[in-house]
Amino acid sequence: MKGYIDLTGKTILITGAAGFIGSNLAKQLLITVDDIKVVGIDNMNDYYDVSLKEYRLKELNAYSNFRFIKGNIADKEEVKAIFDNYEPDIVVNLAAQAGVRYSIKNPEAYVESNLVGFFNILECCRHSYDEGKKGVQHFVYASSSSVYGSNKKVPYSTEDKVDNPVSLYAATKKSNELIAHAYSNLYGIPSTGLRFFTVYGPAGRPDMAYFSFTNKMVKGEKIQIFNQGDMYRDFTYIDDIITGVVKVMQKTPELTEDGVPYHVYNIGNNKPESLMYFVETLEKCLISEGIIEKQAEKEFLPMQPGDVYQTYADVDELVRDFGFKPGTSLEKGLRQYAKWYREFYSLINIRQVD
C-alpha cells in the first residue's frame, strides 16, 4: 500500500499520554504491535482529578516497552531532549488544554499548550531530518469538531469553511491545522489532523457531560441541561477513536493538489443524538449498574457561551481511505462506561475506608 508504515519495531511518541485518548492509544499499541516502543509525555496538570491520570498511567507503566516523561510540551528544551534521546518514527500529538467553557475562564492555558506546545513539537519534527536522518515518518495530531463552530450545514465535512470559531479552544485547534499545513508545505513533514467528535467511554474526562452528570446524580444533585435540552451531539466511543487513530498512523497522507503531504479527517459516529436521549440512556445504564436508584432532577438553562447546537461528522473520507467507520451505539458505550464507573469508584471507596 502506498504510504503504508509498518508499526513493528517503531518508536512512537505520544504527547498527552496520561490523557483519555493518549493512554488508550498507548495501551492499544503496546498490546497489539510487536517490538514497539512507546514514549509518553504529560504534564499531569490538575485541570481535572489527577488520580484518574495516575490510574491510566499505572496501567501503562506495567509494560516494559513504555517510557514516561513528566513534562510540558511548552518547554522547548524538554521536547528537544525527548526527540534527541528517542528519535521517534511517528509522533501523535494529543496534548492540549481541553474544554470549551474553560477556555473562557483561563485562556492562557490554551495558548501555552495548544499553540506554543504544538509549535515546539512541529519544530522538533522539522529538525528530525537534520544531517540526513530519516526523521519523523508521520505526524498525527488531534484537532476537534469544535472548529466547525456554529456551522449550519450538516453533516460537517472537512471541505467546509471553518473560519468562524465560537471559542478560543476551537480557534487554537483550527490554528493547529494551519500551522501543520505550513510545516508540511515548507519541510515535507507528512501530517494528518483528526477532528474528534465528543469522545466518551470508561476512564474518560470528568469535565465531559456524561461523567459530570454521573457524579452529580450519585450525590443526588440537580443536573444542568443547556438550551432547554434542544442540542445534538455526535458521540464517539473511545474504542472507535483508537481504531481510527491507529489506522491513520499507518498511512501517510497523499499529496494535495499543491504537492503537500497533508490531510484532515473527521472521526465521529456519523449519528447525532439528542441531549435528552443521551441523558435518558445514561440514567438507564447507571440504574442498571446500581450506581443510582432513580432519574435525576433536572434544571433547564439557556445555551452556554461557546457551545454549539449540534455536531455531526461526515466520515466518507475516513471510510474511503481506511475502510473504517465508527459504529458503537450510545447505549453500548454508556453501558461500558457505567460498568467501569461502578468498579473504579468502588475501589476508591474501599481504599478510603482502609
**Residues assigned a catalytic role:** 169
**Distance between CA 150 and CA 172 in Å, rounded?**
16
**Distance between CA 44 and CA 48 in Å, rounded?**
9
Instruction: Name the residue with cell 440514567.
Output: 283
**Distance between CA 166 and CA 311 in Å, rounded?**
13
CB atoms within 10 A of CB 1: 6
Q: What share of the chain is helix, strand, coil (3-state, %, to 5)?
A: 45, 20, 40
Residue 292 CA from chain centroid, whole number: 28
Angle among Cα 278, 281, 283 to the nearest 5 degrees reads 110
Name the residue type at position 288: S
Go through 231-253 and write b for each residue having 16 or more CB atoms within 10 A of its CB, e for each that does not.
bbbbbbbbbbbbbbbbbbbbbbb
